[in-house]
Chains A and B, each alone.
Chain A
Amino acid sequence: MTRFIFARLLTIIPIMFGVSFFVFMLAHLAPGDVTTTLTGPYATEEVREQIRIKYGLNEPLMVQYGNWVGRIVQGEFGKSIANRRMVAELIFPKFANTAILAVTSAALAYVIGLFVGVFAASRPYSLFDRLAMAGTLMVGSIPPFWLGLLLVLLFSLTLRWLPATGMTKIIDGGYPGDVILHLILPTIAAAAAPAAIIVRTVRATMLEILSQNYIKVARAKGIRRNVILRKHALRNALPPIATICGLQLGYLLGGVLFVEVIFAWPGIGSQLWAAIQARDIPTIQGASLIIAVAFVLVNLAVDVFNAYTDPKIRISEGMRAR
Chain B
Amino acid sequence: MLQYLKKSAAFGLAAIAGAALALGALDAKPAKAEGTLIWAMPAAMSLFDPLQSCGWLTKNATHMMFDGLVELELGKPEKAYATLRPSLAESWTISDDGLVYTFNLRKGVKFHDGSPFNAEVASWNYDRFLKKDAPQYSPVGAAFLDFYGRWVASTKVIDEFTYQVTLKGPNYEWLQVGQSSCGQPEMISPVAYEKYGEEDIALNPVGTGPFKFVKREIDVMVVLERNEDYYGEAPKLDRIVFRQITDPATRMSALRAGEVHMVTEPTWDEIENVVEEGFTLLLQENVPSVWYAQFNMKNPLLKDVRVRRAINMAINREGIANEILFGTGHAEHGILSAGAFAYDPTYKPYPYDPEGAKKLLAEAGYADGLDLTMEIFDYGWNEAWEKWVQRDLKKVGINLKLSKLEWMTYLGKWLQGMPEDIAMNTMGWGWSVPYWTAHATRCDHHPPNGINGGWYCNEQVDDLYKKAIATQDQSEATGYYREANRIIMEEDVAFLPVFSYHNPILLAPNVKGFVNGQENWYDFTLPYIE
Do these two chains really belong together in a complex? Answer: yes
- CB of B146 within 8 A of CB of A42, answer yes
CB nearest neighbor in A for B24: A161
- CB of B219 within 8 A of CB of A156, answer no
CB nearest neighbor in B for A271: B219
Residues facing B in A124-173 (CB within 8 A) are: 126-128, 149, 152-153, 156-157, 160-166, 169-172
Chain A residue contacts of B349, Cβ below 8 A: none
Question: What does the 1/0 interface line of B34-45 toward A look like (CB < 8 Å)?
Answer: 001010000010
Chain A residue contacts of B276, Cβ below 8 A: none
Known: A43-B143, A83-B218, A84-B203. A37 touches B408 (CB 8 A): yes
A161 and B19 alpha carbons, distance in the complex (Å) = 10
Question: What does the 1/0 interface line of B261-289 toward A look like (CB < 8 Å)?
Answer: 00000000000000000000000000000
Residues facing A in B126-182 (CB within 8 A) are: 139-140, 142-144, 146-147, 182
Residues facing A in B378-436 (CB within 8 A) are: 406-409, 411-413, 415
CB nearest neighbor in A for B246: A261
Contacting residue for B139 out of A47, A123, A164, A171, CB 8 A? A47
Interface residue? A274 (CB, 8 A) = yes
Interface residue? A113 (CB, 8 A) = no
Question: What does the 1/0 interface line of B86-127 toward A look like (CB < 8 Å)?
Answer: 000000000000000000000000000000000000000000
Chain B residue contacts of A149, Cβ below 8 A: 249, 253
A180 and B257 alpha carbons, distance in the complex (Å) = 17
Please count how many residues in chain B sit with their CB below 8 Å of the partner chain's CB atoms: 63
- CB of A180 within 8 A of CB of B26, answer yes
- CB of A177 within 8 A of CB of B27, answer yes
- CB of A262 within 8 A of CB of B4, answer no
A50 and B199 alpha carbons, distance in the complex (Å) = 14
Contacting residue for A264 out of B46, B200, B247, CB 8 A? B247
Q: Which of A25-33, A208-216, A295-303 lies at the interface with chain B?
A: A25-33
Q: How far is the CB of A48 from chain B (nearest CB, A)?
A: 9
Known: A172-B32, A264-B245. A36 touches B412 (CB 8 A): yes
- CB of B257 within 8 A of CB of A157, answer yes
- CB of A178 within 8 A of CB of B44, answer no
Contacting residue for B247 out of A30, A33, A261, A278, CB 8 A? A261
Interface residue? A266 (CB, 8 A) = yes
Contacting residue for B47 out of A84, A127, A166, A172, CB 8 A? A84
Q: How far is the CB of B310 from chain A (nearest CB, A)?
A: 31
Q: How far is the CB of B177 from chain A (nearest CB, A)?
A: 13
Q: How far is the CB of B7 from chain A (nearest CB, A)?
A: 12
Interface residue? A222 (CB, 8 A) = no
CB nearest neighbor in A for B36: A171
Chain A residue contacts of B54, Cβ below 8 A: 40
Chain B residue contacts of A32, Cβ below 8 A: 406, 408-409, 411-412
Known: A44-B143, A84-B47, A261-B246. A156 touches B415 (CB 8 A): no
Known: A178-B26, A277-B408. A165 touches B31 (CB 8 A): no
A40 and B149 alpha carbons, distance in the complex (Å) = 14
Interface residue? A85 (CB, 8 A) = yes
Q: How far is the CB of B504 from chain A (nearest CB, A)?
A: 20
A121 and B183 alpha carbons, distance in the complex (Å) = 69
Interface size class of A (residues with CB under 8 A): 35 or more
Residues facing A in B212-261 (CB within 8 A) are: 217-221, 241, 243-247, 249-250, 253-254, 256-257, 259-260
CB nearest neighbor in B for A165: B254
Q: How far is the CB of B384 from chain A (nearest CB, A)?
A: 19
A-B contact count, CB below 8 Å? 160
Known: A39-B140, A169-B31, A274-B44. A157 touches B253 (CB 8 A): yes
Interface residue? A41 (CB, 8 A) = yes
Most buried by B among A44, A166, A264, A270: A264
Q: How far is the CB of A122 from chain B (nearest CB, A)?
A: 12
A261 and B217 alpha carbons, distance in the complex (Å) = 16
- CB of A84 within 8 A of CB of B253, answer no
Question: What does the 1/0 interface line of A308-322 toward B look like (CB < 8 Å)?
Answer: 000000000000000
A279 and B412 alpha carbons, distance in the complex (Å) = 11
Chain B residue contacts of A266, Cβ below 8 A: 217, 219-220
- CB of B218 within 8 A of CB of A85, answer yes
Interface residue? B451 (CB, 8 A) = yes
Interface residue? A181 (CB, 8 A) = yes
A279 and B406 alpha carbons, distance in the complex (Å) = 11
Chain A residue contacts of B348, Cβ below 8 A: none
Q: How far is the CB of B60 from chain A (nearest CB, A)?
A: 17
Contacting residue for B29 out of A172, A263, A270, CB 8 A? A172
CB nearest neighbor in A for B448: A45
- CB of B218 within 8 A of CB of A90, answer yes
CB nearest neighbor in A for B447: A41
Interface residue? B202 (CB, 8 A) = yes
Contacting residue for A175 out of B20, B29, B44, CB 8 A? B29
- CB of A152 within 8 A of CB of B146, answer no
Chain A residue contacts of B142, Cβ below 8 A: 47
Q: How far is the CB of B23 from chain A (nearest CB, A)?
A: 6
Chain B residue contacts of A170, Cβ below 8 A: 36, 38, 221, 241, 243, 259-260
Interface residue? B450 (CB, 8 A) = yes
A interface residues (Cβ-Cβ under 8 A, vs B): 30-33, 36-47, 50-51, 82-85, 90, 123, 126-128, 149, 152-153, 156-157, 160-166, 169-172, 175, 177-178, 180-181, 261-264, 266, 270-271, 274, 277-279
Q: Which 6 A-B pairs have the closest CB atoms?
A: A177-B26, A43-B143, A42-B146, A164-B257, A32-B408, A164-B253
